[in-house]
Structure 1
Amino acid sequence: MTGVIAASVETITTALRAVFAAERVATSDGFLQRRDPRASLLSISGLALATMLTRTLAVVVALGLVTVALAWLSAVPLRRLLARSAVVPLASAFVVLPQVVLFPGDPLVEVVGVTVTEAGVAYVVLFTLRVGVGVAFLSLIVMTTPFSAVVAAMRELRIPVALVWTIAVTYRYLFLFFDELQRLILARNSRTTGDSGIRGGWRDAKGIAGTFLLRTLDRGERVGRGMRARGGARPPSPYGRSRTLDATDYALVALAVVAVVGSGVVRWGP
């Protein structure tokens, strides 16, 4: 199973490992690192919500500048933040790309009888920027706040226990399942020679999918039994206590509230 499928799994596994390596940034002395996790979670989530609400390019650009400023103040490498935030908006742009010809509006250019409209191009650009800025905001939470502190903040903010459980277990064990798949591919490659190509890769993928599913279900059962043996039937408790909110924390939350309200006014106001 050498080729496209194996390379794709390797890429995904590397990206997931990078998520955990990103917590090293959370130990540095930066603006968001010094904030109470509750304030960081509320404010960054609010800014991401404001980004999703707006339909104005100027507002999206302004929120993007806020993202860059927060990253700079928090000692987050902009290149790393961009790399983490680029995949989702690029995929979103590919999905909405047909809107450049389907969206009604003034014609911009005509190629082979297909008319690209100004409104369609503007829609695709705005949609892609909104997704990119929103993902960048959410990436800042993971990169500047240890995940254990995020879980503790969610519990203190009275977020439903079921949702906290789902997020915590998914985060902790998602990379493990891809490691399992990578081991299966490595075992398959050790018994084959040469490049099987795309068709051969898909044929091998069909054969290995059942084994991976069974191993995944078995691993999930063992993880569940281990959690119950350690008291996992009880609601998840915070891993650490949050600090006392200070004036800067309140100011950051207030900024998020203003951003959400302002985005709503710009969108639905007269």
Structure 2
Amino acid sequence: MTGTVADSAETISGHLRRFFTAEQIAAENGLLQQRDPRVSLLSIAGLALAVMLSRRLAVVCLFAGVTLLLARLSKVPLRRLLGRSAVVPLFSGLIVLPQIVLLPGEALVGAYGFTITDAGLGYLLFFTLRVGVGVALLSLLVLTTPFSAIVAAMSSLRIPVALVWVIAITYRYLFLFFDELQRLVLARNSRSTGSKSYRAGWDDLRRIAGTFLLRTLDRGERVGRGMRARGGARPPSPYSQSTALDISDYALLSGACLAIVGSGVVRWGL
């Protein structure tokens, strides 16, 4: 059991490191890389909001095409973008999967007392695709803009300091906690010999979880004391370089605003 947990912790930690620290694409000379971080943040957030406002599959498909176009213009490999954006939609699809038989509509397939309706299947596709496009947009922002620049843009846009602080600390210490879990499991496995029953494995896992929780709380206390010792009572002041917006920045912002307005008109006006 602990071997399985160790493999899982190592896999998660590796994915987190690649997800948060890989900024090679942000150094490319693409569309979003050349935009001011404030513009990228507002534009991507606006497009994501427009997607969430959508209630028609055709509109969501249109935004999916816009996302793929932005990725191509920003020199983001499609495979990498889809790899970062696929997990959340899959889990979301599993959550709403019962709707394919619960929503009333025209019967498509029936088996074992359940009937899949066209309305249920349509809702499953719509919901999954909408979540996928929203996650892909946010992934596109992370891939094309260094995280430090995103934090600086949030601070420049007068986003509440507490929220900026929480996001910055979460970014800094999230994968560190998974490394701590991996070390705990590795230490436990190095002191164990032979195979164990599933019950003994679960007992080990329970003890490791308790130790991990205590170490997490202790690490949080030490981080807090360190921040206060370094003047952490003051709001965070990430480095940001003020740049003048050009016509491309204004065009991208205008496109995001039009997307929000158009999505609202289609939802409430038609």
TM-score, length of structure 1 as denominator length: 0.96
> Any conservation in 1 of the 2:44–2:137 contact (CA below 8 Å)?
yes
User: Could you say which residue in structure 2 is the equivalent of 1:4?
Assistant: 4
Percent of paired sites with the same residue: 69
**Is it true that 1:93 corresponds to 2:103 in the alignment?**
no
Quick check: 13-22 or 40-49, which moved more?
13-22
Give the superposition deviation at 1:22.
2.5
Give the superposition deviation at 1:193.
3.5
Residues 24 and 195 of structure 1: CA distance in aligned 2, closer, same or farther (over 3 Å): farther
User: Could you say which residue in structure 1 is the equivalent of 2:125?
Assistant: 125
Give the superposition deviation at 1:199.
4.7
Q: Quote the Cα distance in structure 2 between the aligned partners of 1:114 and 1:269.
A: 36
User: Could you say which residue in structure 2 is the equivalent of 1:23?
Assistant: 23
Report how many residues are paired: 270
CA deviation map 1:195-254 (0-9, x unaligned): 547554432211111110111111111111111122111011131224211110111011
**Is it true that 1:259 corresponds to 2:259 in the alignment?**
yes
**Is it true that 1:70 corresponds to 2:65 in the alignment?**
no
> Any conservation in 2 of the 1:105–1:120 contact (CA below 8 Å)?
yes
User: Could you say which residue in structure 2 is the equivalent of 1:157?
Assistant: 157
Give the superposition deviation at 1:32.
0.5
Give the superposition deviation at 1:128.
0.3
Give the superposition deviation at 1:4.
3.4
CA RMSD, aligned part only? 1.4
Give the superposition deviation at 1:164.
0.5
Q: Quote the Cα distance in structure 2 between the aligned partners of 1:157 and 1:71.
A: 25
> Any conservation in 1 of the 2:85–2:135 contact (CA below 8 Å)?
yes
Residues 139 and 211 of structure 1: CA distance in aligned 2, closer, same or farther (over 3 Å): same
Q: Quote the Cα distance in structure 1 between the aligned partners of 2:101 and 2:194.
A: 44
Give the superposition deviation at 1:5.
2.6
**Which one scores higher on RCO, CA 8 angstroms, separation ≥ 6?**
1
TM-score, length of structure 2 as denominator length: 0.96
Q: Quote the Cα distance in structure 2 between the aligned partners of 1:170 and 1:197.
A: 36
The answer for unaligned runs of 5 or more in structure 1 is none
Q: Quote the Cα distance in structure 1 between the aligned partners of 2:221 and 2:162.
A: 18
Give the superposition deviation at 1:76.
1.0
CA deviation map 1:123-163 (0-9, x unaligned): 00000000000000001111111111101100111100111
- Mapping for residues 1-270 of structure 1, pairs under 5 Å: 1-194=1-194, 196=196, 199-270=199-270
SS in structure 2 of the partner of residue 23 of structure 1? coil
CA deviation map 1:163-212 (0-9, x unaligned): 11111111111111111011001111112245547554432211111110
> Any conservation in 2 of the 1:3–1:195 contact (CA below 8 Å)?
no
Q: Quote the Cα distance in structure 1 between the aligned partners of 2:197 and 2:134.
A: 37
Residues 92 and 191 of structure 1: CA distance in aligned 2, closer, same or farther (over 3 Å): same
Query: Structure 1: which 4+ aligned runs deviate by more than 4 Å?
Result: 194-200
> Any conservation in 2 of the 1:5–1:202 contact (CA below 8 Å)?
no
Give the superposition deviation at 1:37.
0.3
Q: Quote the Cα distance in structure 2 between the aligned partners of 1:186 and 1:145.
A: 35
Q: Quote the Cα distance in structure 2 between the aligned partners of 1:202 and 1:60.
A: 44
> Any conservation in 2 of the 1:152–1:242 contact (CA below 8 Å)?
no
Q: Quote the Cα distance in structure 2 between the aligned partners of 1:209 and 1:113.
A: 42
The answer for unaligned runs of 5 or more in structure 2 is none
Q: Quote the Cα distance in structure 1 between the aligned partners of 2:199 and 2:4.
A: 10
Q: Quote the Cα distance in structure 2 between the aligned partners of 1:198 and 1:81.
A: 38
Quick check: 157-166 or 202-211, which moved more?
202-211
Give the superposition deviation at 1:44.
0.4
Q: Quote the Cα distance in structure 2 between the aligned partners of 1:182 and 1:195.
A: 20
